[in-house]
Amino acid sequence: MVSRVIPVEPFDLVIFGGTGDLARRKILPGLYRRFVDGQMPAEARIIAAARSENTDAAFRDTVRAAISEFVTPEKQDATCIAAFLERLSYVRVDATGSDGWQTLADKMRKDVIRAYYFSVGPGLFGDLARRLHRHGIAGTRCRIVVEKPFGHDLESARDLNVTLAEHFDEQQIYRIDHYLGKETVQNLMAVRFGNMLFEPLWNARNVDHIQITVAETVGVGGRGGYYDKAGAMRDMVQNHMMQLLCLIAMEPPYAFEPDAVRDEKLKVIRALDHVEPEQIVRGQYLSDEDGPGYLEDVENPDSRTESFIAMKLNVSNWRWKGTPFYIRTGKRLRARTSEIAIVFKDPPHSIFGDQESHKSNVLVIRLQPNEGINLKVTIKEPGPGGMRLIEVPLDMSFKEALGPGADDIPDAYERLIMDVIRGNQTLFMRGDEVEAAWGWADPVIAGWEEGGDRPIPYDAGSSGPEDALMLMHRDGRRWREVKA
């Protein structure tokens, strides 16, 4: 694969929370990979800002360790690492006070792009926005990157939007959803809108239903405190899964441009029907030999928060009326896998009789593992013995199709950060989109909170509660197997 890397403009990137978990595992190793690939110009600088006392040298040592842990050995080169580390510095800044702000302001250059990545807890987003402005280091060539969660409900998301808008234009605000930075997710748009093959079939006349699965094998681990206040609905559905659903369901935008794409996604969210209780199954994982159950993990024996959710959603517009979207996500499931399956209808009449093997076409977009796209088609089983039909995959795994270079596909975070520097908001959520998604989620959550709904226990290592299977069985359909 020939890689065409175009260097971005010189920039100063400040990572608030530059010593935190996300920066260590994703942001800094990702930036190093962009550096190795030649995308970072010589004048680029990265400044980590956090509350603790630290030195440039000690911070660089932690980044060196992070590179060795999270970057593939082929990309680890001592000279490159040393050159990358030279661009890094550390400033002690308190997001909630005045400490360190002047030092940071003195460091910022005027003639380059300024990007401020808010990789701190969501309670600090407003504080950072206010102080950037107060200390005169915002300005028109600056951007802010805001991590998830963006609000806890519609009201808090609105408040945050208002606070950010007091200091920044919408064109300067990059609300990150790393699912949108995944190669396959963008490929979904390429497949839909770059080919004549699928788009004419992409509607309720030809698609029986759509399944979106995001399954994790891990439990809530050390994030129990946060997770128990959020649950799968707030942590996964309102943001990541909603974004996937939008990209599948949206009308073709007039161009692959930020507002054109985001306008179309917004229309999808607005076309979502309210979800009735019988269309939802919530669950909590039980303990097994590999680990404690959800209630022990969050240290709250009374918790009513779900670690699993399955839902049947309807998009009420001309294209999708009558084609349900089934989504499910959960922790401690059988396998770590994320996929979107577009299940097409059967041919209107089978000229081959009632053959068992005659299954519907399914287009599977795999996000992980083995990112790729797979189309199941029916063909004749080769050889004599009459017309026996079999199902075969037309597989387009990136690894096979693109050769060894496919391993080099940038991680979602590094791609998105480069988009921030380039000023391209296409793969970031607009404020009204986030509010619309909360506007849809809030009444659903309120419904089960008011009704005292308790999640159903499910076995760790399973595919979720039995009731989730029933959600589809009732409609004469079945989930695809949760397997890696």
| Residues annotated as catalytic (active site), given as ranges | 240
Binding flag, residue 66, ligand NAP (CB under 6 A): no
Q: According to CB under 6 A, which one of 8, 12, 14, 19 is a site residue for ligand NAP?
A: 19
Q: Nearer Cβ to ligand NAP, position 66 or 248?
A: 66
Structure tokens at 294: 């959800």
239 binds ligand NAP (CB under 6 A): no
- Residue 104's alpha-carbon distances to 32, 89, 125, 155, in angstroms, are 22, 11, 17, 32
Length in residues, the chain: 484
* CA within 13 Å, CB half, 153: 7
- Work out how close the CB of 294 gets to ligand NAP at its nearest, in angstroms, rounded to a whole number: 19
**In whole angstroms, what is the distance from residue 430 CA to residue 425 CA?**
8
Backbone angles phi, psi at 287, to 5 degrees: -75, 160
**Tokens 């979207």 map to which residue?**
325
Q: Which of 37, 94, 251, 395 binds ligand NAP (CB under 6 A)?
A: 94
Q: Which amino acid is at 423?
A: G
439 lines the binding site for ligand NAP (CB under 6 A): no
Among 9, 21, 159, 273, binds ligand NAP (CB under 6 A): 21
Site for ligand NAP in 133-152 (CB under 6 A): 147-149
Only segment of 15-23, 156-164, 185-193, 288-296 that touches ligand NAP (CB under 6 A): 15-23
Give how far the C-alpha of residue 131 lies from the chain's centroid of Cα atoms, to the nearest Å: 29
Residue placing its CB nearer to ligand NAP in the complex, 21 or 106: 21
17 binds ligand NAP (CB under 6 A): yes
Cβ-based nearer residue to ligand NAP, 95 or 373: 95
User: Which residue, among 122, 36, 158, has the nearest Cα to 438 in the 3D structure?
Assistant: 158
| CA nearest to 184, candidates 429, 336, 366, 444 | 366
**230 lies in the site for ligand NAP, by CB under 6 A:** no
Q: How far is the CB of 22 from ligand NAP (least distance, A)?
A: 3
Cβ-closest residue to ligand NAP?
A: 20
First-last CA distance in the chain: 26
3-class state of residue 364 by DSSP: strand
**Does the footprint of ligand NAP cover residue 429 (CB under 6 A)?**
no
> Among residue numbers 29 through 58, which ones bind ligand NAP (CB under 6 A)?
50-52
Asked whether position 436 contacts ligand NAP by CB under 6 A, the answer is: no
Q: How far is CA 382 from CA 266, 328, 352, 395, in A?
A: 47, 37, 16, 19
Chain residues in the site for ligand NAP (CB under 6 A): 16-17, 19-23, 50-52, 93-96, 119-122, 124, 147-149
